[in-house]
């Protein structure tokens, strides 16, 4: 039994049964367990970093129009040249926003704070 590790000793039928495995087999099982556990943690960390990065780039990227549509307000944003055609901006806060050359055709303004004041032109 030289070079073996005792893994289990059980009492069966009035006597003790001992099960042995080789040192190499035990080492492989331990390493396999650690690798699988590490892979789960790495995957979880990767997903977390990717989620934060995508969310941050989506909200704080160049396209302020998307931020406006997601959050519902964008005070003091530069929406110059933004295409907001047909967007529902009901109850949005655009106070202080720059909207020069922004396409606001068919945009729904209802209780919307705009640079020109409260706009209710799209209320039904």
Tell me: do 68 and 123 sit in the same domain.
yes
Token look-up 């907001």 returns 84
> What is the average pLDDT across 34-39?
76
- pTM assigned to the model: 0.45
**Helices 23-60 and 64-71 meet at what angle, rounded to 10?**
100
Q: Which domain holds residue 35?
A: 4-60
Tell me: do 22 and 70 sit in the same domain.
no
Tell me: do 100 and 115 sit in the same domain.
yes
Instruction: Give the integer Cα–Cα distance in Å for 36 and 106.
Output: 54
Tell me: do 21 and 68 sit in the same domain.
no
Confirm if 64 and 78 have CB atoms less than 8 A apart.
Answer: yes
- When divided into structural domains, the chain yields a total of 2
Tell me: do 28 and 68 sit in the same domain.
no
Tell me: do 69 and 122 sit in the same domain.
yes
Tell me: do 50 and 96 sit in the same domain.
no
Q: Which residue has the higher pLDDT, 20 or 118?
A: 118
* Residue 1 pLDDT: 46
Domain end position, chosen among 15, 36, 60: 60
Domain end position, chosen among 60, 87, 102: 60
Tell me: do 121 and 101 sit in the same domain.
yes
Tell me: do 45 and 8 sit in the same domain.
yes
Secondary structure element (H or E) that encloses residue 30, with its range: helix 23-60
Task: Give the closest residue to 100 by CA, choosing from 124, 117, 116.
Answer: 116
Model confidence band, residue 39 (pLDDT cutoffs 50, 70, 90): confident
Provide the 3-class DSSP secondary structure of residue 82. Answer: coil
Tell me: do 94 and 45 sit in the same domain.
no
Rounded to a whole number of angstroms, the distance between the first and last alpha carbons of the chain is 87
Tell me: do 68 and 124 sit in the same domain.
yes
pLDDT higher than 50, residue 10: yes
Tokens encoding 50 = 């990717």
pLDDT in tens, 49-80: 877 777 665 555 556 666 676 677 787 888 88
> What is the average pLDDT across 105-123?
90
Tell me: do 53 and 68 sit in the same domain.
no
């Amino acid at each position: 039994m030289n070079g073996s590790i005792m893994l289990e000793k059980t009492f069966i039928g009035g006597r003790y049964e001992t099960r042995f495995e080789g040192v190499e087999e035990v080492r492989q099982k331990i390493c396999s367990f650690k690798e699988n556990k590490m892979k789960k943690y790495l995957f979880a960390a990767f997903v977390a970093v990717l989620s934060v990065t995508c969310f941050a780039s989506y909200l704080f990227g160049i396209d302020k129009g998307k931020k406006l549509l997601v959050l519902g307000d964008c005070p003091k944003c530069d929406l110059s040249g933004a295409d907001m055609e047909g967007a529902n901006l009901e109850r949005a806060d655009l106070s202080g926003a720059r909207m020069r050359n922004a396409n606001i055709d068919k945009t729904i303004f209802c209780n919307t704070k705009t640079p020109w004041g409260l706009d209710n032109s799209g209320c039904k």
